[in-house]
Amino acid sequence: MSKINLTLKVWRQKNGREKGGFETYTAKDIDTDMSFLEMLDVVNEQLTHEGKEPIAFDHDCREGVCGMCGAVINGQAHGPLKGTTLCQLHMRNFRNGETLVIEPWRSRGFPILKDLVVDRSAFDRIIAAGGYISVKTGQAPDAHAVPVRKEDSDTAFDAAACIGCGACVAACPNASAMLFTAAKVSHLSHLPQGQVEAPERVIKMVEQMDKERFGNCSNEYECEAACPKEISVEHIARMNSEYRQAKWKAKH
């Protein structure tokens, strides 16, 4: 265990209406075993004692699975470590004396609510548009009625591991939500249960995504690089092809 000192440049913004700006703070004697959010906790305790308002940031599970946390650290969504959410990023990944620029996700689709907290309800609306199998409680047959190939089940899982944090949007130069949307489309269409509604699902979800003012995909692959669950851009290719087929079917 060792201690480091850091300079933080943090985006502070009172609410969605007022303009924001950077404030500089020092984070002293930071234990390298701390998580990034624990480091922010320490800074917030210090700010509170100084009579200042602490930095607002979203978090809940602190185990990398709820998708609540997230910020851009020195230009990288969730910071420098691959496949890691901010809450699982530990301070041993930083050097003594470093300056860290900490900003919220920036996208038209994610309005800022306060400091590092953004409104990601657009993701819920994309799921509501069709990101499910419309089975009602009680309708299900025995779980073994339909065997599923292990490969398909595993690929479905890889996509279903999405935590909906929004890092893909934050990392994309166009602020596109393709990886998020594709992950759900691909999760469900890899399973036999998901086939029935697959064509309608992909059309409705893509239409909703477009309505939410996310940008287009221009194959930059920044989303995959930033994704804490390392979800592959191959799901985007799959969604595109499903979308084309579904549109073609709808016409003919």
Q: Does 79 bind ligand FES (CB under 6 A)?
A: no
Q: Does 131 bind ligand FES (CB under 6 A)?
A: no
3-state secondary structure of 217: coil
The owner of tokens 């990398």 is 64
User: Which of 52/108 has CB closer to another protein?
Assistant: 52
According to DSSP, residue 90 is labeled B
Extract the runs of DSSP E, i.e. beta strands, from the chain: 3-12, 21-31, 72-73, 76-77, 99-103, 112-114, 117-118
- Closest distance between ligand FES and the C-beta of residue 124, in Å? 16
User: Which of 85/107 has CB closer to ligand FES?
Assistant: 85
User: Which of 68/188 has CB closer to ligand FES?
Assistant: 68
- Closest distance between ligand FES and the C-beta of residue 41, in Å? 12
Picked from another protein, ligand FES, none, the partner binding residue 69 (CB below 5 to 8 A depending on kind) is ligand FES
Q: Give every CB contact of residue 99 below 8 A, 6+ residues apart in sequence.
A: 6, 7, 8, 9
Picked from another protein, ligand FES, none, the partner binding residue 141 (CB below 5 to 8 A depending on kind) is another protein
Of 10, 39, 67, 235, the one binding ligand FES (CB under 6 A) is: 67
d(CA 181, CA 201): 11
Residue spans of alpha helices (H) in 65-197: 121-128, 150-160, 167-171, 178-189
Residue numbers 155-214 binding ligand FES by CB under 6 A: 163
Q: Does 61 bind ligand FES (CB under 6 A)?
A: yes
Picked from ligand FES, another protein, none, the partner binding residue 114 (CB below 5 to 8 A depending on kind) is another protein
User: Which of 84/217 has CB closer to another protein?
Assistant: 84
- Element (DSSP H or E) covering residue 206: helix 198-211
Q: Does 59 bind ligand FES (CB under 6 A)?
A: yes
Q: How many residues does the chain have?
A: 252
How far is CA 242 from each of CA 87, 169, 230, rounded to the nearest angstrom?
35, 22, 22
- Element (DSSP H or E) covering residue 43: helix 36-49
Of 68, 182, 188, 239, the one binding ligand FES (CB under 6 A) is: 68
- Closest distance between another protein and the C-beta of residue 239, in Å? 16
- Which amino acid, one-letter code, is at 171? A
DSSP string, 61-77: -SSS-S-----EETTEE
Q: Does 85 bind ligand FES (CB under 6 A)?
A: yes
Q: Does 230 bind ligand FES (CB under 6 A)?
A: no
User: Which of 57/243 has CB closer to ligand FES?
Assistant: 57
User: Which of 68/203 has CB closer to ligand FES?
Assistant: 68
Residue ranges binding ligand FES (CB under 6 A): 59-62, 64-69, 85, 87, 163
